[in-house]
C-alpha cells in the first residue's frame, strides 16, 4: 500500500513480519475477522491456493508467488472463507514481554517507565507469579515497596491486574514482530 518498507526484498525474501529465526509469518483471520494467529508463510499460501482462505492484504505491488496452479500475491493477511469455531483457548502464559505490553511499559504506581516486575503481594508473603499478581514497575517504586503490601504503604492499583484478553495477544507479546499490515486487524492490543 505504498509503503516501501513493507515490501518483500526481491533478492532475499526478507520481510518485516518475521520471527527471530527469519521465517516469515502471515496473520490468519477467522471468517468473522477475528485474528486467529500467525501462520507460516507456506501454510498461508496453501490455504489461499486451496481456496480455504482469501487474501486480505498482501504485497499487491510486490513479488508474485507462482504456485503449481495459479499465481497469488505474497500474503500479509488472509481470512478463512468458512468460520471455524475456536474452543476456549488456554490463556497466554505470563512472560516479561507480555506483562510489559499489558501495562504499556509504565509503572502502575507512578507512571514512570517500567523496567522491573513487581509482585503486588510479595512472593515472600505468599503472592503468586501470575498475571493477577504481577505488574510493571519502575525501579524506585519496586525498591520502596520491597516486601510490603499495598495497604501497608497506602498505595493503590489503578485496576486489578488480569490476564490480557484477545487471542492475538501472544502475537504481540514479543513472539512475532507484527507486520504493519496486520495492525488494522488486531484492534486495540496492537497499539
Q: Residue 107, interface with Zn ion (CB under 5 A)? A: yes
Q: Give residue for cell 477467522.
A: 30
Give min distance, CB of 103 to Zn ion, in A.
11
| Segment interacting with Zn ion (CB under 5 A) among 6-14, 104-112, 122-130, 162-170 | 104-112
Backbone conformation region of residue 37, classed left if phi is above 0, alpha if psi is from -120 to 50, else beta? left
Of 43-51, 52-60, 66-74, 106-114, the window that binds Zn ion (rule: CB under 5 A) is 106-114
36 lies in the site for Zn ion, by CB under 5 A? no
Judge whether 178 and 158 are in contact, CB under 8 Å. Answer: no
State the maximum Cα–Cα separation within the chain, in Å, rounded to a whole number.
69
Check: CB of residue 79 under 8 Å from CB of residue 90. no
Stretch that binds Zn ion, among 34-42, 57-65, 75-83, 107-115 (CB under 5 A): 107-115
Site string for Zn ion, 38-67 (x = CB under 5 A): ------------------------------
Cell 487474501 belongs to: 55
Which residue's CB is nearer to Zn ion, number 61 or number 115? 115
Q: Is the dihedral of CA 6, 10, 11, 12 positive or negative?
A: positive
Answer for which of 65, 101, 109, 171 binds Zn ion (CB under 5 A) is 109
Site for Zn ion, residues 124 to 143, rule: CB under 5 A: 138, 141
Helix (H) or strand (E) holding 44: helix 41-49
Nearer to Zn ion, 59 or 118 (CB): 118
**Nearest CB to Zn ion, comparing residues 74 and 107:** 107
Please state the closest distance from residue 108 (CB atom) to Zn ion, in A.
Answer: 8
Least Å distance between CB 117 and Zn ion?
12
C-alpha dihedral sign at 147, 149, 155, 160? positive
H or E, element range at 114: none
Strands (DSSP E) along the chain, which ranges?
Answer: 25-29, 35-40, 53-58, 64-66, 71-73, 75-80, 116-119, 134-137
Contact between 110 and Zn ion (CB under 5 A)?
Answer: yes
In angstroms, what is the minimal distance from the CB of 140 to Zn ion?
A: 6
Binding site for Zn ion (CB under 5 A): 107, 109-110, 112, 138, 141
Amino acid at each position: 500500500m505504498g509503503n516501501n518498507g513493507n515490501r518483500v526484498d526481491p533478492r532475499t525474501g526478507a520481510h518485516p513480519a518475521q520471527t527471530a529465526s527469519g521465517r516469515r509469518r502471515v496473520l490468519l483471520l477467522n471468517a468473522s475477522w477475528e485474528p486467529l494467529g500467525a501462520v507460516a508463510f507456506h501454510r498461508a499460501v496453501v490455504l489461499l491456493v486451496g481456496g480455504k482462505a482469501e487474501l486480505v492484504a498482501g504485497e499487491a505491488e510486490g513479488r508474485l508467488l507462482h504456485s503449481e496452479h495459479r499465481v497469488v500475491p505474497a500474503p500479509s493477511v488472509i481470512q478463512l472463507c468458512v468460520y471455524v469455531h475456536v474452543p476456549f483457548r488456554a490463556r497466554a502464559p505470563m512472560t516479561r514481554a507480555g506483562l510489559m505490553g499489558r501495562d504499556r511499559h509504565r509503572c502502575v504506581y507512578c507512571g514512570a517507565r517500567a523496567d522491573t516486575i513487581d509482585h503486588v503481594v510479595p512472593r515472600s508473603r505468599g503472592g503468586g507469579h501470575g498475571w493477577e499478581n504481577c505488574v510493571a514497575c519502575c525501579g524506585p517504586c519496586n525498591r520502596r515497596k520491597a516486601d510490603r503490601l499495598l495497604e501497608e504503604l497506602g498505595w493503590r492499583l489503578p485496576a486489578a491486574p488480569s490476564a490480557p484478553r484477545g487471542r492475538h495477544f501472544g502475537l504481540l507479546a514479543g513472539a512475532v514482530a507484527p507486520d504493519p499490515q496486520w495492525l488494522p486487524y488486531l484492534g486495540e492490543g496492537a497499539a
